[in-house]
Amino acid sequence: MAPIPITIITGFLGSGKTTLILNLIPQLPPSHKLALLKNEFGDVAIDSQLATSSAISGVQELLNGCICCNLVGQLSDALDTLRRDVAPDRIIVETSGSAFPATLAMEVNRLGRESGNYVLDGVVVVIDVENWAGYEDTSFTAKLQARYTDVIVFNKWEEVGERRWDECLDRVGDMGVDVAWVKSKKGWVDRDVVLGIDGGLARELSEEKSLENHREHHEHEHAKDHSSEVEVLSVNLSAPHGGKGSVDLEKLQQFLQSAPKDEIYRIKAVLSASEAPKSSDQELNPTTPKPTGGAATGRGPSKYILNWAFGRWTFTPLLPFAAESSSLLPLSEPTSRSTTEDTKVLRMTIIMARYESMKWKKRIEAGGLMALANGHDDEKSLVVERLL
C-alpha cells in the first residue's frame, strides 16, 4: 500500500489556517478521504468540531501542548489512529500558532522512514498580512514559521493598502525566504497550490539542521519552550442545578467587540444560545446561521462554534452529529466524558499575549463579560483557569 501523504499547515495565531483547510474540502473529489490532525492550545476541541461539521473524514486533536515539543511523542499514535480508522487518502496536520514546523517535519520524516506508512508532502505557512507587522515584531516563532516552509499563503491582504502589503512582502524577503507564495481569496486557494507539492523542505531537512534551528529558537526566547510567547485561559460557564441554559449573547458580543487585539490574539468557544448569534463580518458570513438544535424547534438552546481573531469573529452552527462524534475526543484527554458536560453553556479558550492572563482572569471573574441568559448565574456558574 502506498504511503499516505502528509501536509503540514502552520502559521501564527489567527492567521487563517482552519479557514484555508475548510476551503480545500469542496475542491476535493467526493470519494477523496481527507483526515485532520489538529494541535491547539486550550482544553476544548473546537476546530475539530468545526472540521467534522464540514465533512472531513476523520479528526484527531492534540490539546494543551505543542505538537513539536511536549506532544511530539503522541504524533505517531494520532497518525496511526487516523490510518487505521479512516484509511485516508491524505492527512493534514494543522499546528498550533506557536509550533516550529522544521522539527515537526523531521518527526514526520522519521515516522515515514521507520513505518513506510507516511510521506511528507510539504509544509505550508499562512501569514496574516493585516496583522503581520504586530506579531512579526513580538514572535520569533512567526519568523521561523515563515523561514522553514515550502509555500507561503498570504491571507487577509484585501483589507490593507498597497503599502502594508509591500512592507509585509519586503520583511519576509529580508529573512532570506525564497519559496513560492500565493495570495488567498479570503482564505481560498486552489488545492493544487498546497496539496501534492512534493516540497523541498521534506527532502532537504536533516535532523542536525532541525535540532540546531530549534535550539536557536529556544535560546532567542530565553525559555525552555516557545509556548512562553502566549498565555492561555480556560473559561467554563455552567447552568445551575444540573439543568440546561444559554449564554447571554448581548454581554458576549460586547466582550468580543471590546477585546483589544494587542492583548488578546485568539478566542475559541463552543456555546449554547437560544437564538442565532451574529458574526462580525457579514461578508465572511453572509447569512445569519440557522439553528440546528433546540432553538430551531423552540425546545431549547442550540450549539454554536465561535472563532475570534484580531477583532473579527464568526459563529457556526454545530451539527448534532459533530457534537456527539467520538472522533472529537482529543488524545491528550481521557476518553470518558463527565456527565457535567451536558450542563456546560460555554466552553472557551482565550489565547493572549504574555503577562495579560491574570488581568483578564480577574476581569472575567468580576462578572459582566460572560453570563447566563436571564440572570440565572450563581457563584459556581463561572470557572476561569489559567492553562499556560
Q: Which of 39-43, 254-258, 373-377 has the lowest mean pLDDT?
A: 39-43
Name the maximum alpha-carbon separation found in the chain: 60
- What is the C-alpha separation between 192 and 196, in angstroms, rounded? 7
Residue 233 pairs in a beta bridge with 350, 386
pLDDT of residue 15: 87
Contact 137, 20 (CB under 8 A): no
Query: Higher model confidence: residue 222 or residue 97?
Result: 97
pLDDT of residue 185: 94
In the chain, the amino acid numbered 44 is V
pLDDT of residue 106: 84
Contact 49, 60 (CB under 8 A): no
Give the highest mean pLDDT range of 44-48, 98-102, 151-155. 151-155
Q: Which of 45-49, 124-128, 183-187, 361-365 has the lowest mean pLDDT?
A: 45-49
- What is the C-alpha separation between 240 and 152, in angstroms, rounded? 48
Give the highest mean pLDDT range of 17-21, 27-31, 88-92, 299-303. 88-92
- What is the C-alpha separation between 278 and 171, in angstroms, rounded? 36
pLDDT of residue 348: 93
Contact 234, 227 (CB under 8 A): no
Q: Which of 141-150, 170-179, 311-320, 363-372 has the lowest mean pLDDT?
A: 141-150
pTM: 0.76
Task: Give residue 233's pLDDT band: very low, low, confident or very high (50, 70, 90).
Answer: very high
Question: From edge to edge, which strands make up the β-sheet containing 4-11?
Answer: 58-63, 34-40, 90-94, 4-11, 118-128, 151-155, 180-183
pLDDT of residue 183: 95
Task: Give residue 84's pLDDT band: very low, low, confident or very high (50, 70, 90).
Answer: very high
**Nearest alpha carbon to residue 85 among 115, 118, 120, 57:** 57
Task: Give residue 59's pLDDT band: very low, low, confident or very high (50, 70, 90).
Answer: confident
